Structures are given as structure tokens and as C-alpha cells.
Amino acid sequence: MNTKYKQIIKKAYEASKYSYSPYSKFAVGSAVLAGSGKIYLGTNIENVSYGLTNCAERSALFNAFSNGEKQVKAIVIWTSLFKVFPCGACCQVILELAENADIIIKTGKDSFKIFKIKDLLPHSFNRQNL
Ligand code: THU
């Protein structure tokens, strides 16, 4: 893992501390390394209606794009558990906004593995379908 990726992993961990997850008590942090080189953070924000919950990955991606970014080099998903992959909704959003990004997943206490969205969502509804 290169230095920049180590840095965004730490940032994703820090973002998880801001998790608003009173229902699941499952804190997730995400960090996006955008095309400009800047880092954008996100965390999961739950809602009493449950369905309005926003996952950490989508929060981070929307944060990056809301600040004018158009490309994503890498995105980290951080939880205290291992091998937590983005949910289906987040995979669809990653496909839309971060198709070529490295997706960094925690696989052990101090180990991380890089995936691509095509690994996680091999068959998708995508822009070629329209
Ligand atoms: N969650 C994320 O933020 N990202 C994931 O990849 C998995 C799930 C959140 C949503 C909800 O707040 C909590 O984790 C439990 O599902």
C-alpha cells in the first residue's frame, strides 16, 4: 500500500468516529482520493425511518462531487470489522462516479486489499444499457 493510500485509510478511520449510527451502532468511515489529489471524507448517517440512511461511501463520494471533483482515484471503506464490502446501492453509485477507482477494503487487522468495481459488481445496469 503506497503512502497516499495509507494516509486515506487513516482518514477513513477518523471519519468513522463521526458516524451517526444510533440504530445499528455500526460505524463506517470512508475517504475518497479525488482527481485533484484532495481527500474527501464521509460517514454513515442513519435515520429513524431506516431507508433514508446514507452509507459512508456514498457520503464521501457525494462530498467529493459536491466540491467540484469529477474523478476518483481511490476510495476506502473502513469499519472495525474485516471484509466489509460496499452495499449494492453503494456499488451502483461507485460504478457511476468512480468506475476506475481503487476500492480499498480492510481484510485483516492491518491488511487492506484493492478491488475494482467490476470485481464487486460484475454484472450491472450501466450507461451502455441506455
Ligand atoms: N453501511 C455503510 O455505511 N457502508 C457499508 O458498506 C455497509 C453499511 C452502514 C449503513 C448503516 O448505517 C450501517 O452501516 C448498518 O447497515
The pLDDT of residue 105 is: 98
Domain count, the chain: 1
User: How would residue 7 be classed by pLDDT, with cut points 50, 70 and 90?
Assistant: very high
Instruction: Please tell me whether the overall predicted TM-score, pTM, comes out greater than 0.75 for this model.
Output: yes
Active site residue 57: yes
Mean pLDDT estimate for the chain: 97
| Domain region containing 35 | 3-129
Whole-Å CA distances, 79 to 29, 31, 99: 7, 12, 22
Q: Give Cβ neighbours of residue 84 (< 8 Å, ≥ 6 apart).
A: 28, 77, 105, 106
CATH label of the domain that carries residue 94: 3.40.140.10
Average pLDDT over residues 28-57: 98
75: CA distance to ligand 1 center in Å?
A: 15
From 57, 69, 96, 99, active-site residue: 57
**Are residues 15 and 43 in contact, defined by beta-carbon separation less than 8 angstroms?**
yes
The pLDDT of residue 1 is: 86
Candidates 20, 41, 44, 54: which one to mutate for ligand 1, based on the most atoms within 8 Å of Cβ? 44
24: CA distance to ligand 1 center in Å?
A: 8
Dist. CA 20–CA 15, nearest whole Å: 11
Candidates 87, 92, 115: which one to mutate for ligand 1, based on the most atoms within 8 Å of Cβ? 87
